[in-house]
Amino acid sequence: MVLDVTLGTQPMLSNFGLLVKEIRALWPHASITAALGISGFNGADGKTATAQETALLAQNLDYVNLMAYDVYGAWAPTTGPLAPLYATCAPPAFGQSVQTGFQVALKQGFKASQVILGIPGYAKRLELVSSKLEEKVVNGKPTYYYQNHTTVTPVSCLR
């Protein structure tokens, strides 16, 4: 059985927890998983949910699939890695990484053995503002990752 639920508010998160608990009671041997964004589930205040808010999910889900990708893309002000392992050289506003996503999952009450890492098997292509790469210093480290790009998404030539 596949159930696709998009959560928007805390009552929805609470109700989702109750739904998963009910499914677990009806089908105790079923494998129940949920997708978890890199910033975790949102709580009542719109920020990252607490372990108390996600307790029913942590108790009744077998796994959470941590979607640790799409950190950068057309929506970001610069280019950057799709799924950085660490955020050590990322600008402060983009401090998400595989590591921070995993830490959020643990803080939300999931065991390490429940977290399945989702990584990208694709790339994104952005048009740079300039063909000359600029070295930038981010968190004291030189990098060429973060380049300004246009709002144009290039059309793929592989059709």
Q: What is the pLDDT of residue 77?
A: 85
User: What pLDDT, on a 0 to 100 scale, did the predictor assign at position 2?
Assistant: 62
pLDDT of 43-102, one tens digit each?
A: 878 889 999 999 999 999 999 999 999 888 888 888 888 899 998 777 777 789 999 999
Confidence check: pLDDT of 1 > 70: no
Average pLDDT of span 101-105: 97
Which of the pair, 107 or 15, is modelled with greater confidence? 107
Complete domains list, the chain, with CATH:
10-123 (3.20.20.80)
Task: Check whether 141 has a pLDDT greater than 90.
Answer: no
Query: pLDDT tens-digit profile of 5-41?
Result: 666 666 688 889 999 999 999 999 999 999 999 999 9
Question: In this structure, are residues 33 and 63 in contact, taking their beta carbons and an 8 Å threshold?
Answer: yes
Can you tell me the distance from the alpha carbon of 24 to that of 158, in angstroms, rounded to the nearest whole number? Answer: 45
Structure token pair of residue 93: 């506003």
